[in-house]
Amino acid sequence: MEPAAEIMPYAVSFVLWKQHLRGKCIFVFIDNEGAGSAWISGFAATKAAQHMLHLGTSAEAELSAHPYFARVPTHSNLGDAPSRGKFNVIEKLGGKRTRVPIEVLERLMKHGGGSAVPFECEWG
């Protein structure tokens, strides 16, 4: 089963960097088999993940973005260290931190009926 937390970053990227993704071919490196399969198939077992897939795939269509999902080992995934709060390698490569507004996370964690999806994460 796909963890919603592994599906969320790609969906968040469309909200944060919408202006940069329009009409682009996007390489998406994923080190979680379930999350990669969910994005490729457009199917997820949980309501939280289904909602995130819907928002992400809708954004792909709206922006005419063309993703290519590649399975990579965790140690080769450039997004792994930042997901653990370690930014030094990404910053050395010219990457910049982007704070995710709480409203974006709340939108991703609400499904069709407007009720909050049970989802736990650390804030801070």
Which pLDDT tens digit goes with each residue over 72-94?
998 888 888 888 889 999 999 99
Question: What is the pLDDT confidence band of residue 119, given thresholds at 50, 70 and 90?
Answer: very low
Q: Residue 65 and residue 97: Cα distance in Å, rounded?
A: 22
Classify residue 9: in a domain, yes or no. Answer: yes
- pLDDT, tens digit, for every residue of 45-65? 888 889 899 999 999 999 999
Classify residue 52: in a domain, yes or no. Answer: yes
Classify residue 113: in a domain, yes or no. Answer: no
pTM of the model: 0.79
Classify residue 117: in a domain, yes or no. Answer: no
Classify residue 114: in a domain, yes or no. Answer: no
For the chain, the domain total comes to 1
Q: Please, are residues 117 and 51 in contact by the beta-carbon 8 Å criterion? A: yes
Query: What residue numbers bound the domain in which 65 lies?
Result: 4-108
> What is residue 84's predicted lDDT score, i.e. its pLDDT?
86
